[in-house]
Structure 1
């Protein structure tokens, strides 16, 4: 029992010393002692220390992490509605949406014209770079109009510089309206901003 108590005192002393910060302020010295003692040699106690077995692995957990999210909110706004008939064709209202993902600087994207042929609608938009820097971020922009028209194939043509983004591969990019005229030919303009 005495050995256990001595061991407890040693362990508590070691833990107490480890949990505090000591700064030496003065040098010290031991007293001079002249003692003539005879003793048998002692023996230090032996300890069998069993350490905890610690394994470090990974696992998948659902945790909350901060994310920047652009929230699309619904608002009532005035939007153009184009209504046109084609002989022998049923029509329905639908939204024509053009989107682009840009970086570097803010941009503006506007649907400028819609032209029609017998079986296709051409949505012609203009992508224009503005002056405000986006830094190292990207931005998705869009414009839309509604049409009451027969279910025709839709091709989007954007006049402006194509940003180097995979998302922008859905549309054809050209440098000028002259190129648009060369691509479309004799399509009839049904909407112009």
Structure 2
């Protein structure tokens, strides 16, 4: 019995000391498939019939973060009726930002039609030093009557202020930087001059 145990131990010791050496690389089986790659649908919106004006709206205007007032104001109104479209929906397109003080101004200056969507462009201007009071919120809006599935991109020209809320918007440093991003041949549906820089 003892002899059998010793023989078993010697055999296990021999197994524990063995070495495996790879002699051939692994290879997946080859499969030849003839598959059509397919494609995503593409839409081309024709911006043939666009009316621009103003309309009266009752909106909530941020005065400071803790206080809001409701007042009647005139806002730009853009009526887009591409030929062959179905349902249209009237909606307010708002750009609203958190800013560190009341010395900032935000104004939507352009609405562009490019490709299959709208680009709503606002200018953010502000003094380098505090303009009184503490953190507040600034906003501007346009009213758009357009197909309800129209893609709307919001862009702000100016420096992004600190704040998580501001991360939802694309910021560019200048109009030249914006022109590099907007597709060529974009049509200007609405434009107004931005207010001068606050000093």
Of structures 1 and 2, the larger Rg is shown by 1
1:177 paired residue number: 175
Inter-partner Cα distance in structure 1 for 2:65 and 2:163: 19
Q: CA RMSD in A?
A: 2.1
CA distance in 2, matches of 1:87, 1:138: 45
1:112-191 matches, cutoff 5 A: 112-130=109-127, 133-134=130-131, 137-151=134-148, 152-186=150-184, 187-191=186-190
* Unmatched tracts of structure 2, length 5 or more: 1-63, 193-199
Q: How many residues align structurally?
A: 126
TM-score (norm 2): 0.58
Q: Output the CA distance in 1 between the equivalents of 2:181 and 2:160.
A: 17
Alignment match of 1:101 (pick from 98, 101, 105): 98
Q: CA offset at residue 92 of structure 1?
A: 1.8
Q: Which structure carries more strand by proportion?
A: 2
2:108/2:121 contact within 8 Å kept? yes
Q: TM-score, normalised by structure 1?
A: 0.59
User: 1:113 & 1:160 partners in 2: Cα distance?
Assistant: 14
Q: CA deviation at 1:79?
A: 1.4
Give the counterpart of 2:71 among 75, 81, 85.
Answer: 75
